[in-house]
Amino acid sequence: MHIAAANHDTFRTLLRVGISTVRPRQMKHRSTRLRILTCLTVSAALCGCHPTNPLDRKVTASSPIDFVWWRADASGSLDCEQWRDFDEAIQEIKFRMMIDHVASGGAAVDKATRDRINGRTVREVLTIGYTSMLDRLNIERAEAINVITTNARLVTRPGDTASADYLLKKRKAQSDVLEVILEKIRQAETKLKIYGPTFSVNRPDQSPAAPTAETPDFEPPVRLR
């Protein structure tokens, strides 16, 4: 009877010790499994929040802080070149806001730009920006060609080598300016081929045609006094 009681007490002691040693391990395993399941759930949720193509992510820019948070969240989605293009497109949209007199002043232009891009995809922002750039560059190209065409009609007095040299340098500088503009146009067209357009930008055609070499010039030369 005493032996049975002793054995019974020993069993109860071992049971208590066993429980005290097993429970922490079980809790540890359960905690580990819970952390793994939580990580998997969060990862699945994050993967489902954004499209596979980073260019199809929508921009959040309803306020300055929202735009900052969006850029931070999307920082790893775009590569360095895409971010440079995105910033260049944003800058071009700001130029367009000022040229079209949509807004003036830093804060107003910034808000108008954010209103323009908020809710659009990265691809759409890039397309809007480079389309605006192409429109501006084509206008600059037409103006440069007009200046070159006008200066091409100028002639100096016979023997006035100083004026002739000055006119030659002036024509060379204007030709260099035109070449820079044409190179920027080629770059903007390349960007548009890469990023779009996949939607209508809804802007008038502001791309004036450049005069060709076959265009006849009926205006007489103008002699410098």
57-116 pLDDT, tens per residue?
A: 999 999 999 999 999 999 999 999 999 999 999 999 999 999 999 999 999 999 999 999
Asked if residue 11 belongs to a domain, the reply is: no
Asked if residue 40 belongs to a domain, the reply is: no
Q: Which of 139-148, 156-165, 184-193 has the lowest mean pLDDT?
A: 156-165
pLDDT of residue 52: 85
Asked if residue 6 belongs to a domain, the reply is: no
Q: What is the C-alpha separation between 172 and 72, in angstroms, rounded?
A: 46
pLDDT of residue 205: 41
Q: C-alpha 104: how far from its chain's center?
A: 22
Q: Is 136 a residue whose pLDDT tops 50?
A: yes
Asked if residue 97 belongs to a domain, the reply is: yes
Residues 6 or more apart in contact with residue 131 via CB below 8 angstroms? 192, 197, 201, 203
Task: Tell me which residue range forms the domain holding 92.
Answer: 56-223
pLDDT of residue 26: 52
130: amino acid identity, one letter: Y
pLDDT of residue 61: 97
Asked if residue 49 belongs to a domain, the reply is: no
Q: What percent of the chain has pLDDT over 90?
A: 56
- Count: domains in the chain: 1
Q: What's the whole-number mean pLDDT along residues 118-142? A: 96
Asked if residue 151 belongs to a domain, the reply is: yes
Q: Is 28 a residue whose pLDDT tops 80?
A: no
pLDDT of residue 15: 44
Asked if residue 146 belongs to a domain, the reply is: yes
Asked if residue 156 belongs to a domain, the reply is: yes
Round the CA-based radius of gyration of the chain to a whole number and report it: 35
CB atoms within 10 A of CB 135: 20
Q: What is the C-alpha separation between 34 and 145, in angstroms, rounded?
A: 70
pLDDT of residue 9: 54
